[in-house]
Structure 1
């Protein structure tokens, strides 16, 4: 059985292995990497993260289709979209994310950029009120506040019902982490890397259990709290760098 120091050393090696530019082409993070403008990166990143469940090649294919429908200019398209412009999304769907959800997401993003100062502003406002969990709560309340269809609510995680908010935490990792490796963007400066939460999914959860620092069976917020306690002991400044290690071990190495 490995002790804590052995586990940290093992995971640090895997971070170095997977947190490299060659991680990008096989991951949904490739979609925001198609853009250079801050707002395009944010919107492309957010929409790609929201679609990120299932097989990675299918996620990437659907996210690329969505960027095509946004004329490869997500910020410009969304902030100027008329109701008739939204008709083009009536054929879009990915798994349970339907055209109804897609059209609402575009309308909500339009409000957020035209009236709330953008995605970074909304998340930062919640974060300043009470840390990262409050940022997740506040974002959800704002995002769903524009007469959202009931069916769309399931696509924005509700941490008050125990959700681990994997997809939004992944998006936040992309936007906030800045380690000069060229994978994450680090374009948001007002949220601290030390407060980020692991994008907990079936792979990162199973690897954490095998390494002995997750005992809980469900991949929910309580499990995430348990994992984060250990990851912050390994690195208090940048705990979610271990996402690369846990995910790489799960997906690439079937650990």
Structure 2
């Protein structure tokens, strides 16, 4: 494809405007945390929904719903007050694909530990002065959240192992981005949107390659940083806005 760079970003800005609207919520896992108003409920519902966000979107939403129901639709209250017999009632089967009941319980225990230390998950993701993205922040969070060797830790990806950390990056977009469109929550006050990246999945990566704004073939952390360089050139304050555009181009199949 031979679009000039300015044309590419005119297109991306147009698509971002189109897809960053409340209509986006209806078919997206972000609808799950949108049911809540308490900050910690939004964080837990968002983190769990993002953690299982691979595969069919309808299935992701259904399975995220299951987790909310298992917590009595009060995630923070459940996390802080569950007793062992509550955990025994969780059916011993998969929640979503390879994310099973053991992984869910592992997450619940670690949420309690994190919320015993911090008022908000934001405190576990703070960016240091010399950092330009979430590379170190995600790893610091991971080291705090994964308290022991457990099969569930594979669901908390590590940029230090060159993972694109797509699900965590998506969760961070939900919590950090602030605008008046009503999709992202923007409830974290101490982390700036300029540090965000686009969650890199198969679709956003392929569209980025077709547009010529990503050359790296692997969908890994190095690809995230390569895409960051060009997206931040066009919107240094809010680079993750282009997630809506790349998603929208994928859905509309304009470049297939």
Aligning the two structures, in what range does the TM-score lie when normalised by the shorter sequence? Answer: over 0.9
| 1:37 maps onto 2:38 in alignment | yes
The superposition leaves residues 210-229 of structure 1 with CA deviations (integer Å, 9 ceiling, x where unpaired) of 00011111100111111111
Q: Which has the higher helix share?
A: 1
Equivalences for residues 205-220 of structure 1 within 5 A: 205-220=205-220
Question: 2: CA distance between counterparts of 1:88 and 1:192?
Answer: 40
User: For residues 148 and 85 of structure 1, do their structure 2 counterparts lie closer, same or farther at Cα, with a shift above 3 Å needed?
Assistant: farther
Q: Tell me the TM-score normalized by structure 1.
A: 0.95
Aligned partner of residue 125 in structure 2, secondary structure: helix
| 1:201 maps onto 2:201 in alignment | yes
Equivalences for residues 1-255 of structure 1 within 5 A: 1-91=2-92, 92-124=94-126, 127-128=127-128, 131=131, 132-145=134-147, 147-149=148-150, 151-253=151-253, 255=255
| Structure 1 position 101, deviation (Å) | 0.6
Aligned partner of residue 107 in structure 1, secondary structure: helix
Q: How many residues align?
A: 251
| Structure 1 position 114, deviation (Å) | 1.6
Question: 2: CA distance between counterparts of 1:166 and 1:89?
Answer: 27
| Structure 1 position 129, deviation (Å) | 6.2
Q: Which blocks of at least 5 consecutive residues in structure 1 are unaligned?
A: none
CA contact (8 A) 1:104 1:148 kept: no
| C-alpha RMSD of matched pairs (Å) | 1.2
Higher relative contact order (CA 8 A, sep 6+): 2
Q: Which blocks of at least 5 consecutive residues in structure 2 are unaligned?
A: none
User: For residues 49 and 254 of structure 1, do their structure 2 counterparts lie closer, same or farther at Cα, with a shift above 3 Å needed?
Assistant: farther
